Chain A
Amino acid sequence: MRALLVEDSDELVALLKKGLAQGGFSADAVRTAADAAHALATMRYAAIVLDRGLPDDDGLNLLRDMRRRGDSTPVLVLTARDGVSDRVTGLREGADDYMAKPFAMEELLARLQALLRRSDNLLGRRLTFGNVALDAEGRQVIIGGAVRAFPARETAVLEILLRRSGNVAPKRLFEDHLFGLSGDVGSNAVEVYVHRLRKMLADSGATVKIHTVRGVGYLMAEEKTG
């Protein structure tokens, strides 16, 4: 899969290229916004990793131009300037995700893959976390290699948790997904399904656990071993 890496630090480019290669991306690297615009005009990329602090321009300007042209390639914006006053602007300008430097390589790859999944890519078919996997198309739950039969709503809850794995999934997200816009949601309906799923996961020997963050949502985390 081809990705465009727009970053002016040579050292970082070399390291990122190596990391991206391990994640299955072959990355073209350019150092300036002008070169990036040129590369985008000639080549179609699956994703773009864009640094904001480019020598010739703010990376956000490049992003704005792309979106204005109707280019919807997923963009992961990197920034060293994660100030109070400029943190949110990146996402408003049309960035799909936003990462502050320094970041862990694993997280960069995970976020890129999440972006591709969201943009309806092939990678979206299988979600995994710990020893739990979900074939999103076939609605199959696989725990520790064994296929499990989970009811539809519990599977839907699991999918949401897997898509946000490591982060809190807001309660509202479950309500919207499970009951759509029409349903009159009982105040503890989500809780009931989460409770059932929690039990099923435990019974199936999953290494992940669903934590309740009361007042906010649910968080799936890997259980600590030992």
Chain B
Amino acid sequence: MTRFRSILSRVVALHVVAIGVISVAMPLALYWLLNEAANSLHRDALHSQAVTISGFLKPLASGVVLDIPPELEPLYAGSYGLYAYAVLDSAGHVLFSSRNDGSALFPPKESGNGEWVVRRRGTGSVLFGLSVSRTVDGRTYVIQVAQDLSHRDVIIDDIVASFLPSVAWITFPLLLALLLIDILIFRRALKPVREASTTAATIGPTNTEVRLPEKAMPTEIVPLVQAVNQALDRLEKGFRAQREFTGDMAHELRTPLTVIRARVDSLESGPLRDSLRKDLENMTHIVNQVLDIAELETFIVAGDARADLQAVCAEAVAFMAPLAVGQSKTIALGGSEKPVWVHGHAEALFRAVRNLIENAIRHAPTGGSIEVEVSADGTVRVLDDGLGVPEAERESIFRRFWRRDRTKAESRGLGLAIVARVAESHDGSVTVENRPGGGAAFTLRLRPAAA
């Protein structure tokens, strides 16, 4: 059933088939019924003719005489007459006949009473008749009456013939009207389902509390709606648990760090305090990155989320400038000066750009420069003038905890992994290449959004 996926189209398709069948079958059935009725009318007419003729049988001493009033004679006048008759005695001898040859209309069959018979004549026309037995003066006579169907009462046939086309003409529009009514009924019945679909479309990881309405739903669909709502309950629970876990983890890790930091800050100044502070800052940095990556793991950007990439980059450059300046490196923002709208979550994008800048600051030499460039097509390039990234490492540097030199203790492998994860969650990409003049150029591509 791939062709008719919607209930409405299925109903319509089946209806069209039904209309086709009905518009053929109904006239046929009507035709048959009308014919039956016409035939029974004929039988009644013939029967009364037979009774009438039997009324003309007058008893005589030696038998009977048939006394037909002259005004009725033309009715039975040979081949022009409407009816033909024959009167037989109980032995089957023809006594009177409207035929010129005086023969019986059809052979008497055990002198059956009131039975009608159809017989073919040589000409191929159909003779329709019946016989009635009558007792006159103690003797039984059989009266046969017949009618050639080519001479049949024309009015009845006319009725049959003219009735059918009109029936056909009325049947078809009626059936079409029924189809339209059915479409309307189905549309009405399926309205809650359509509304539920609109509601369901708004459900996303950022909007998990929406549930489908069960009230107006047709009972056949309620179980489906309930099942969907239950699935949403479980999904929301999972999301909440994940969010709570990263939140709790942040609290559990950062609170002791804060206490240590405050304790270290309260120490007397000296080389010990300075080195402890440095260690703590490194530790904090790693904890923050781990928490970021844990959160980003399940982070999903809302479908309609938009962010101004230019503003995000300006904020990130401003945020990282003190670090760059502190290391005697210059940092600048270039490219578009107007807002660059992209599909995305501003804070997540901020963290991605911040990590790219942090990476660039780390690799730029003292006195070097870091350049951030925003393009109107939704890309950010972060350029440094360091050593660049060897071809073989251009993919692995985006992996978690990757480090060039495993013998060195200082692993900073999470920053670029965060960038890669943000790019992935935004349906974007991050790549790196070397600049012609030396240094690395990281490109973060995002999907542009309407302004």
Binding site for B on A (CB under 8 A): 9, 11-12, 15-16, 18-19, 53, 80-85, 87-88, 100-106, 166-168, 170, 211-217, 219, 221, 224
Contacts and interface: CB of A to CB of B under 8 A. Distances in A.
Interface string B4-27: 000000000000000000000000
B345 to A, nearest CB: 7
A80 B333 contact: no
B246 interface: yes
A21 to B, nearest CB: 11
A15 B246 CA distance: 26
B321 A84 contact: no
B280 interface: yes
Interface residues of B, number: 47
Contacts of A19: 262, 265-266
Contacts of A85: 243, 295, 299, 345, 347
Nearest to B332: A214
Contact of B251 (A12, A53, A103, A211): A53
Given A12-B255, A18-B266, A101-B255, 8 more contacts: A88-B346, A101-B258, A105-B261, A106-B265, A168-B319, A215-B317, A215-B334, A216-B314
Interface string B267-300: 0000000000100100010001001100110010
Nearest to B328: A224
Contacts of B253: 80
Given A80-B254, A80-B258, A216 B333 contact: yes
A167 B254 contact: no
B318 A217 contact: yes
Contacts of B317: 168, 213, 215-216
B258 A87 contact: no
B261 A216 contact: no
B299 A84 contact: yes
A224 B367 CA distance: 14
Contact of B325 (A11, A15, A101, A211): A211
B156 interface: no
B348 interface: yes
A87 B265 contact: no
A112 B330 CA distance: 29
B261 A9 contact: no
Contacts of B299: 84-85
Contacts of B251: 53, 80-81
Interface string B233-267: 00000000001001100110111011111110110
B326 interface: yes
Given A166-B322, A216-B333, A221-B325, A84 B345 contact: yes
A9 B318 contact: no
Interface in B323-367: 325-326, 328, 330-334, 337, 345-348, 351
A168 B321 contact: yes
A88 B321 CA distance: 20
Chain B contact residues: over half helix, strand or loop, or mixed?
A: helix
Give me the 5 closest cross-chain CB pairs, A-B, nearest first.
A215-B333, A214-B332, A15-B262, A168-B318, A105-B265
A15 B263 contact: yes
B261 A104 contact: yes
A83 B333 contact: no
26 contacts: A11-B259, A12-B258, A12-B259, A12-B262, A80-B258, A81-B251, A82-B254, A84-B295, A84-B347, A84-B351, A85-B243, A87-B347, A88-B347, A101-B254, A102-B257, A102-B258, A102-B262, A105-B262, A168-B318, A168-B319, A213-B317, A213-B318, A213-B332, A214-B334, A216-B333, A219-B321
Nearest to B418: A84
B357 to A, nearest CB: 11
A214 B333 contact: yes
A83 B295 contact: yes
A215 B346 CA distance: 19
Given A11-B259, A16-B262, A215 B351 contact: no
A102 B317 CA distance: 22
Contacts of B284: 102
Contacts of A212: 330
A154 B277 CA distance: 37
B261 A102 contact: yes
A16 B322 CA distance: 26
Contacts of B332: 213-216
A9 B288 CA distance: 20
A83 B287 CA distance: 12
Nearest to A52: B251
Given A9-B255, A105-B265, A213 B333 contact: yes
A211 B321 contact: yes
A221 B288 contact: no
A170 B318 contact: yes
A170 B334 CA distance: 15
Contacts of A80: 250-251, 253-255, 258
Nearest to B349: A84
A9 B322 contact: no
Nearest to A220: B325
Interface in B208-254: 243, 246-247, 250-251, 253-254
A16 B262 CA distance: 7
A9 to B, nearest CB: 6
Identify which of A85, A88, A166, A217 gathers the most chain B CB atoms within 10 Å of its CB.
A85
Contact of A84 (B296, B319, B322): B296
Contact of B322 (A15, A81, A168, A214): A168
Identify which of A9, A83, A105, A224 gathers the most chain B CB atoms within 10 Å of its CB.
A83
Contact of B321 (A9, A12, A103, A213): A213
A103 B262 CA distance: 8
A11 B257 CA distance: 12
B304 to A, nearest CB: 16
A218 B260 CA distance: 34
Contacts of A87: 347
Contact of B348 (A84, A105, A106, A166): A84
